[in-house]
């Protein structure tokens, strides 16, 4: 089973992401846009792991406390464009605790530096005028849980299913 741990966005945050994607589309940017139902903030990517109960137990060992998450700014990692997350010490501390709990449980995860973002479009190809300079107003929401997600390839893209949350 391919697993990851994520935070779901609020309705207002989803709308901000859709607006940013619409600005990219209006500028003629082509690529693989993240479908609305797949919008999330990845905290830890586990990858292939046979037992989700192990991951849920590790998550329970690092309890999630509600925090305010604010979307702010647009950027890119190569041809992947994203909407950023305002610096948040509580989020960073939670991810550190979560990753320690996964390591203590012997569950492998992607150890790349945590760089919180929401993916707008992958394999982006600029439109006739390049990439748009868009300004996304900050959108905040109180987040009260983290979710263990399963990722599987469907006919028209990835399908994410929540397996549990803390």
pLDDT averaged over every residue in the chain: 94
What does the pLDDT average to over 105-120?
Answer: 95
Q: Report the pLDDT value the prediction gives residue 132, as an integer from 0 to 100.
A: 79
Q: Report the pLDDT value the prediction gives residue 136, as an integer from 0 to 100.
A: 83
DSSP string, 63-108: ----EEEEEEEEEEETTEEEEEE---HHHHHHHHHHHHHHHHTT--
Interstrand relation of 117-125 and 67-77 (parallel, antiparallel or unpaired)? unpaired
What does the pLDDT average to over 85-107?
Answer: 97
Least confident of 65-69, 101-105, 126-130: 126-130
pTM for the model: 0.92
Contacts (Cβ under 8 Å, ≥6 apart) of 75: 81, 82, 84, 117
Q: Which percentage of the chain shows pLDDT scores above 90?
A: 87
Q: Report the pLDDT value the prediction gives residue 85, as an integer from 0 to 100.
A: 95
Q: Report the pLDDT value the prediction gives residue 131, as an integer from 0 to 100.
A: 83
- Check if CATH label 3.40.630.30 holds for domain 2-165: no
Element (H, E) at 21: helix 11-26
Note the pLDDT tens digit of each residue in 34-53. 999 999 999 999 999 999 99
Note the pLDDT tens digit of each residue in 134-165. 888 899 999 999 999 999 998 878 899 999 99
Name which residue leads in pLDDT, 66 or 128: 66
Q: Report the pLDDT value the prediction gives residue 68, as an integer from 0 to 100.
A: 97
């Amino acid at each position: 089973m391919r697993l990851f741990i994520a935070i779901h966005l609020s309705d207002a945050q989803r709308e901000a992401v859709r607006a940013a994607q619409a600005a990219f589309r209006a500028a003629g940017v082509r690529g693989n846009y993240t479908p609305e139902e797949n919008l999330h903030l990845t905290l830890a990517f586990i990858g292939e792991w046979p037992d989700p109960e192990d991951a849920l137990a590790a998550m329970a060992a690092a309890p999630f406390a509600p925090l305010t998450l604010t979307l702010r700014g647009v950027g890119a990692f190569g041809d992947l464009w994203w909407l950023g997350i305002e610096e948040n010490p509580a989020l960073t501390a939670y991810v550190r605790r979560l990753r320690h709990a996964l390591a203590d449980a012997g569950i492998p995860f992607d150890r790349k530096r945590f760089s919180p973002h929401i993916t707008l479009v992958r394999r982006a190809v600029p439109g006739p005028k390049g990439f748009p300079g868009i300004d996304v107003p900050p959108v905040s929401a109180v987040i009260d849980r983290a979710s263990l997600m399963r990722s599987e390839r469907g006919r028209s893209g990835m399908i994410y299913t929540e397996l549990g949350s803390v």
